[in-house]
Copies of this chain bind each other. A is one copy, B any other.
Amino acid sequence: MPRADAQRNRARLLEVAEEVFAERGTTVATEEIARAAGVGIGTLFRHFPTKEALLQAVYLARLRRLTDDAATSPSLTDWIRHAVEQSRVKNAFAEALTEAGIDPRGAAAEVHRDLLAAIDTMLRRDQSAGTVRPDLQVPDVIALLAGASRAVEVSPTSQSQVLNVLFAGLRP
């Protein structure tokens, strides 16, 4: 199983890891993830030489998806709604990385920059259109998104109310 299957394995590991980390927290044994992906631990560690590296990769993949969505989303609120709906349970990744002593900005500078840029574009556009409060900045948006995800995680049945309140608060 050469290059082709190797890449498939890597992709599968990432996918499975995201799910498992989400469902059972970032403290799950790496072996659990390997098992869930149907590969030996050796394979997992060949692709990600460290549990932290795996965590990083999962985290970066998430950021990339967020960035892509931001680039094509019609509005900031649509993007937030989508992101919150997507965020599978326990999105404790940033936290995990922070705990691990890794500054996500440092480790993943480019991806981070892209995400910030994409948010910035959306934000300015909507602010110009007068649909979003003008005093909002990119870091605030990130904080609010993280908060909304957490809120929905705490009380899934409150999802629509949480978004209602947030979107109402975002209006100028």
Residue-by-residue, is A122-157 near B (CB-CB < 8 Å gives 1, otherwise 0)?
000000000001011101101110111111111101
Q: In the complex this chain forms, how many copies of it are found?
A: 4
Q: Which of A36-74 contact B (CB under 8 A)?
A: none
A109 within 8 A of B: no
- With A101-B154, A136-B165 given, name 4 new contacts (CB 8 A): A98-B154, A135-B161, A144-B162, A147-B148
If the complex has contacts A25-B99, A140-B161, A166-B165, are A150 and B146 also in contact, measured as CB distance less than 8 A? yes
Number of A residues with CB within 8 Å of any CB on chain B: 42
Q: Is the CB of A143 within 8 A of B151?
A: yes
Q: Is the interface of A mostly helix, strand, loop or mixed?
A: helix
Q: Is A97 engaged at the interface, CB distance under 8 Å to the other chain? A: yes
Q: Roughly how many angstroms separate A95 CA and B27 CA in the complex, as a whole number?
A: 12
* Residues A142 and B155 in contact in the complex (CB < 8 Å), given A95-B91, A162-B147: yes
Q: Which residue from chain B places its CB closest to the CB of A141 in the assembled complex? A: B158
- A165 contacts across to B, CB distance below 8 A: 133, 136, 140, 144, 166, 169-170
Given contacts A91-B95, A147-B162, contact A139 B168 (CB under 8 A): no
